[in-house]
Structure 1
Amino acid sequence: MKPFIMRSLALAPVVGMVLLTGLAPAASARAVMPMEHTYGTVHFVSGGIGSDESAAMKQAASRYGLELVFAKRQRGNDDYLAYVPVVIRNAEGHVVLDTRSRGPYLLANLPGGTYTVTATERGIAKQQTVHVAAGNHQSLVFEW
C-alpha cells in the first residue's frame, strides 16, 4: 500500500501544475482589462499600462461613448501619461465624473449630452467640450 501512496504524493505537484496551467489563460485574460468603476451613474475604466492592457483598452473603446487619451510631447515624440486628474461636467456644470486616470486611457459611458472635460498634468489644465450621443463613440486626446 505504501508504494501507491508514495506514487500518488509524487504526482500531486504535477497534477497541481496541470490544473493551474489550465486556469492561467482565463486568469490572465481577466487581468488584461482593468476593472470597471462607477461614479454616480457613470461607468468607466482607465488604464493602458503595458502592451497587453493597452491593446485591451483600445479594443474595448468602441463599447464606451467617450474615450480619453493622455500624452505629453517630448523631443518630437508622444509619451503616454498616467495618473492624470480628470473632471467631467455636464451642460449644467454638475460633476458627473471626478477621478484620476490609472493609465493613458480612460473610457466612460455617459448619458447623452454635452460635457466639458478637464484634465490636469503637473498643474496645467486642458479643457475640451464633447457631445455624447447614444450609439456614438467620441475620442478626445489631451496633449501637453
Structure 2
Amino acid sequence: MTPLISPRARPLAAALLCGALAFGALATSAQAAFNPPIRMSHGIEYMSGGIGSDEAKLMETVLPRWPASFEFAIKDHQGADFAADVHVTVRDGRGVALLDNVVAGGPFMVARLEPGSYQVEATLRGQTLKQPLQVVFGTPTKATFLWPAGTDMAAAGTRAVQ
C-alpha cells in the first residue's frame, strides 16, 4: 500500500496539522467564551457587552479597534458601578438615527461610525444623557455616560469602574 504522504513530508504535515488544530482551538474557545455578537442597525455595526470580568476584558481590548466606543456607569460619592441595559441612539449631523434605541447589554458599546459629527443619547431608567461625538479617521473616540446614584441601584451585572 502506498502512503498518502511521503515520508519526507510527514514532519511538515504533522507540524501544519498541529498548528491548525491549536489555532482553531484557541479561536473557538475565545469566541465561545467571551465574544458578544456583532449586531447591525441601519447599516451600522455595533457590539455591546462587558458583563463579567472576562467579557469586560475583551471589550476593553477591542475598544481601540472600533471608531467609536461608549462606556456607561452610575456614580455616587463612593465610586461608580457599570450600568447595563442602556438604550442608545446615535444621530448623524442631519439628525438621522443610525443606531436607533439599541440596547447596550453591558457597560461597553462599540460602533463602526464613519468620520463625522454625531449626537449620542443614552437612556437608563428614564434618565437620558446626551453628548456630541466627533469621529476622526484612524483615531478611536470614546464617550462616557455617567448617571447620578439612584438611577439604577439594582442594575444586574455591574462592576466597579476604576
TM-score by length of 2: 0.71
Q: CA RMSD in A?
A: 1.5
Q: 1:142 aligns with which of 138, 141, 145?
A: 145
Tell me, yes or no, if structure 1 residue 86 matches structure 2 residue 73. Answer: no
SS in structure 2 opposite 1:30?
helix
Match of 2:31 in 1: 30
Deviations 1:71-91 (A, max 9, x none): 001342110010000000000
SS in structure 1 opposite 2:56?
helix
Q: 1:113 aligns with which of 93, 100, 116?
A: 116
Deviations 1:75-131 (A, max 9, x none): 421100100000000000000002010100000011111000000111111000011
Match of 1:123 in 2: 126
Match of 2:160 in 1: none
SS in structure 2 opposite 1:111?
coil
Structure 2: distance between partners of 1:28 and 1:75 = 39
Over the matched positions of the two proteins, sequence identity in percent amounts to 34
How many residue pairs match? The answer is: 123
Structure 1: distance between partners of 2:68 and 2:26 = 29
Runs of 5+ in structure 1 lacking a partner? 1-21
- What pairs with 1:16-95 in structure 2 (closer than 5 Å)? 25-31=26-32, 32-95=34-97
Runs of 5+ in structure 2 lacking a partner? 1-21, 148-162
Q: Larger helix proportion, structure 1 or 2?
A: 1
SS in structure 1 opposite 2:36?
coil
Match of 2:155 in 1: none
Structure 1: distance between partners of 2:73 and 2:88 = 14
Task: Detail structure 1 runs of 4+ shifted over 4 Å in the superposition.
Answer: 22-26
Structure 2: distance between partners of 1:103 and 1:109 = 18
CA shift, 1:137, in A, is: 0.5
